[in-house]
Amino acid sequence: MAYWLLKTEPSDFSFDDLVKAKRAVWDGVANNTALIHIRRVKKGDLAIIYHTGDEKAAVGIAEVVTDAYPDPRAADSKVVVFDLKPKQRLAKPVTLKQIKADPLFAEWELVRISRLSVMPVPTAIWKRINQLSED
């Protein structure tokens, strides 16, 4: 079981939208590095949903409900997607500011590669984010 972080622009698709929809296909990713990560996504994995733009904060946890599969709506077979459902909202959002302030996160892609929209989350980072959301 692996952990992921998924970025989304909330005015486009937010964690609330996922809660309302109850289930969604995570599509629209074109970046090759992000697609390489998506290919490793498995049913049962958990994902942090992170809002970009004005919010810049982790807001909720989602559960992956399918393995990665080729996007049936994409012409390019390299494009892969997966389905997920909402699991829980974080008690409090964890902001990018908080993440940048903590040295534990310094080497993480979220801080180092701002454009990357899908990335793995090491267990230590997963735990710390959950901790920060409860403080």
Partner DNA sequence: GCCAACGTTGGC
Does 76 sit near DNA (CB under 7 A)?
no
Q: Pairing state of beta strands 118-120 and 3-8? A: antiparallel
Nearer to DNA, 114 or 131 (CB): 114
68 phi, psi to nearest 5 deg: -65, 145
Of the candidates 73, 50, 63, the one whose C-alpha atom is nearest the C-alpha of residue 129 is 50
> Judged by CB under 7 A, does residue 7 bind DNA?
yes
Say whether residue 11 binds DNA (CB under 7 A). Answer: no
Tell me the window of 41-49, 60-68, 110-118, 124-132 that interacts with DNA (CB under 7 A): 110-118
Among 66, 92, 100, 130, which residue interacts with DNA (rule: CB under 7 A)? Answer: 100
Choose one: 37-45, 58-66, 85-93, 107-115; the region binding DNA (CB under 7 A): 107-115
Tokens coding 39: 């290919």
22 binds DNA (CB under 7 A): no
Residue 55 Cβ, how far from DNA at the closest point, in Å?
8
Distances (CA, A) of 105 to 20, 111, 126: 31, 7, 10
* Nearer Cβ to DNA (64/118): 118
Task: List Cβ neighbours of 3 (8 Å cut-off, separation of 6 or more).
Answer: 45, 46, 47, 48, 120, 121, 122, 123, 126
